[in-house]
Structure 1
């Protein structure tokens, strides 16, 4: 009973808003944002456990991709809502970009780094080593990052971006689904539910998916509008709230799961999940924004980007480039984690200084490539493996996690 208590707590977090929503409650923006945000947080936990349970029936790599996709589903709901509204009211366009860039930078700057910090605290090892099979995520992330340069340069998010990024996501899922099925490593409520016989387990898993998805659908609009309204009410920059508070609420369950993996000595799995989430957000999420905008507006026109939005995307791309180069040796050191976390927090504190941080990310990335040109060859092989028609034989891990 103790292991499934978090499930009841997550459902309980969603129920107050669901009840008020069904009875037609209209409160202040702050109350609306708080209650609907709590509902989304609870739903995000339920989705993450359901996605873990789904690993029992699908391949390892596909399970990681599914887990990372479903765990950030609340993020998709909020961001696509803003893009949809932007098709009717252009003032919403900055919010869609704010939410997307904030979520992406938070994943790398805080999420990836946190796994390494916890791993070091647990083992006193300063290097977390990944397996060569993780080149699947590395290849997808490399291609998406290179393509992302185009978006701010052309000053818009268009259906061309949708086509390219969704193709990358499809290649990633195709490659993931071709890998072998293995025994998943479950923790907490997911482990307790997994102990049930197959039919009850699948029924519980499906129920978690349905309840969580319904909660997100009933909460996304209220949470999004509540954040904007709260900013206007209290004189807080709405762009700031949407960029950081919304992703923090919707992605916290995934952060917690990754940290729990690290605490249990499976930090490489936690980091792999976070990397896969970045692939999902950098391909599928970004690609869906212009599609939602076009459908809502009733025309194939691109979603325009102003200078601030273009700068945000450029900064996000630069951070991703540095992160990709760091991972090119299939290891993530404490120094790399400190660099990513330090740059993120400093840039967060100095939001007006985008150009220097963009330049610094580029300098660090190219300095690493010049010092160790093997990283570039590794990235090239990762891209080739992703796009090859025949899947390469799955490689073994690159050494133990201990240096």
Structure 2
């Protein structure tokens, strides 16, 4: 067991050491080398953080676990994005990077993450049953998380309409996130389903496990906080030297590094035939991004010396509009707690198209396409709209699958096919 655990952790530590040495001695490598070294450190620390967070579920239950794990899961991504927002308070050029990092991670999570786990989950189901499975179904309790995401996705349109993220709006989103934590903390907590290094840590004796989990938390958090600033700085400088649009580099490379562990965990769930758990995890992450992350940006901007609102230019408005319409389509397609194959391919296809059409006008065209398809999905799933929007405000005893949930019988019938 020790070998199984030491190998992956040792590999992550080896990837982290060069970056920590650079920070300790104050050396400044070339931007490209710095990007690689600090980027590797962030990714490696993110994996350690993910393993520790999963294993912690063995010892922590209820609301405390949800609160801790929610913050821990997003720390790598938030450390980079909040650095951009904080720096924007004294350097307005960084507003664009804060917006780029947020919209990129958001679209990456849904366009690539949701699509991949659904397609993998359907392929595994077909392999196990020998029958073609056309949709992935979710359990009824996931309607609560979907309800929070639905509300957040509608509220998100305030940003492109007003062209700013105000401090008041940020506090409202943070309050909604706190309500989300309180709501899901009241849900029944089952036994954690661990895999890989997390499972090995979870199987250790209680005292050893708890000490190791705390040590991994402290180590990973320290590495991420130490490397977030140089990683972000070298990312921008390297983009300039290589002739790459810094906005696009910040929008896709940084989120890909910070989201990698979460993607791998979700994919592992899907490979093991737990596609609903994979999608449920990614839905929760989307709620975190639209509430905790977006709500924190104007606060970080203010602390960095900025004003009471983070103002966006035309390009950033287009990016937020595209991100909001993509989220709306994802919610609309999932209203019946079924994720059809066509929805996965549509989200993946539109996600890929944006790289071939990077212009601002193309962003508005893609946003319109997302909106039209979302409208069609909303009309098709219209009887699930009100139950979904009401789910976050229902009593805990009503959150489960019951006669008042119009999807209960449908899900059961679909699962039996």
What's the counterpart of residue 43 of structure 2? 41
Q: Select the residue among 260, 264, 283 that pairs with 1:256.
A: 264
**Counterparts of residues 225-374 of structure 1 (less than 5 Å):** 225-297=233-305, 299=307, 301-352=308-359, 353-374=362-383
Q: Once the two structures are superposed, what CA deviation does each residue of 1:135-183 show, in whole Å capped at 9, x if it has no partner?
A: 1211111111111111111111111221121121111100111112211
Partner SS for 1:131: coil
Deviation at 1:272, TM superposition (A): 0.8
**In 2: Cα distance, 1:354 partner to 1:42 partner:** 33
- Give the SS at the match of 2:110: helix
Indicate which of 395, 400, 412 corresponds to 1:395: 400
Deviation at 1:126, TM superposition (A): 2.6
After TM superposition, what 4+ stretches of structure 1 lie above 6 angstroms from structure 2?
Answer: none
User: Given the superposition, is the C-alpha separation of residues 340 and 65 from structure 1 closer, same or farther in structure 2, using an over 3 Å criterion?
Assistant: farther
Cα distance, 1:114 vs. partner? 0.8
Counterparts of 1:63 and 1:279, CA distance in 2? 17
Instruction: Report the secondary structure of 1:332's partner residue.
Output: strand
Q: Which residue of 2 aligns with 1:77?
A: 79
After superposition, the C-alpha distances for 1:319-373 in whole angstroms (9 at most, x for unaligned) are: 0000001110001121110010001101222111011111111111111222332
Separation in 2, partners of 1:402, 1:223: 49
1:382/1:370 CA distance change after superposition, 3 Å: closer
Q: Take 2:262 and 2:70, find their aligned partners in 1: how far apart are those partners?
A: 8
**What TM-score comes out, normalization by structure 2 length?**
0.91
Secondary structure of the equivalent of 1:132?
Answer: coil
Partner of 2:19: 17
The equivalent residue for 1:221 is 229
On the 8 A contact 1:60/1:184 being kept in 2, the answer is: no
Residue 59 of structure 1, CA deviation: 4.5
Distance in 1, Cα, partners of 2:77 & 2:333: 26
Instruction: Note if contact 2:19-2:37 (Cα within 8 Å) is conserved in structure 1.
Output: yes
Aligned-partner SS, 1:236: coil
Distance 1:158 1:267 in 2: 37
Residue 340 and residue 69 in structure 1: after superposition, are their counterparts in 2 closer, same or farther (change >3 A)? farther
1:150 aligns with 2:152: no
Of 366, 390, 396, which residue of structure 2 is paired with 1:384? 390
C-alpha distance in 2 between matches for 1:234 and 1:226: 12
Structure 1 gap segments, 5+ residues each: none
Aligned to 1:28: 30
Is the CA contact 2:333–2:378 (under 8 Å) kept in the aligned structure 1? no
- Cα deviation for residue 234 of structure 1 reads 1.3
C-alpha distance in 1 between matches for 2:88 and 2:56: 35
How big is the shift at 1:385?
2.8
TM-score, normalised relative to structure 1: 0.95
Q: CA deviation at 1:58?
A: 4.1
For residue 107 of structure 2, the aligned residue among 96, 105, 108 is: 105
Q: Secondary structure at the match of 2:339?
A: strand
Query: Take 1:122 and 1:369, find their aligned partners in 2: how far apart are those partners?
Result: 29
CA contact (8 A) 1:65 1:176 kept: no
Which residue in the other structure is 1:114 paired with?
116
Tell me the number of residue pairs that the alignment of Structure 1 and Structure 2 aligns: 398
Distance in 2 (alpha carbons) for counterparts of 1:101 and 1:211: 28
Q: Tell me if structure 1 keeps the 8 A contact 2:120–2:270.
A: yes
Q: Cα–Cα, structure 1 residues 361 and 402, in superposed 2: closer, same or farther, change >3 Å? A: farther
Cα pair 1:68 1:273 within 8 Å, conserved:
no
Counterparts of 1:401 and 1:236, CA distance in 2: 47
Structure 2 residue matching 1:392: 3-state secondary structure: helix
Please report the RMSD computed on the Cα atoms of aligned residues, expressed in angstroms.
1.8
- Judging changes above 3 Å, is the alpha-carbon distance between structure 1 residues 401 and 255 closer, same or farther for their aligned structure 2 residues? farther
Q: Could you tell which deviates more after superposition, 55-64 or 181-190?
A: 55-64
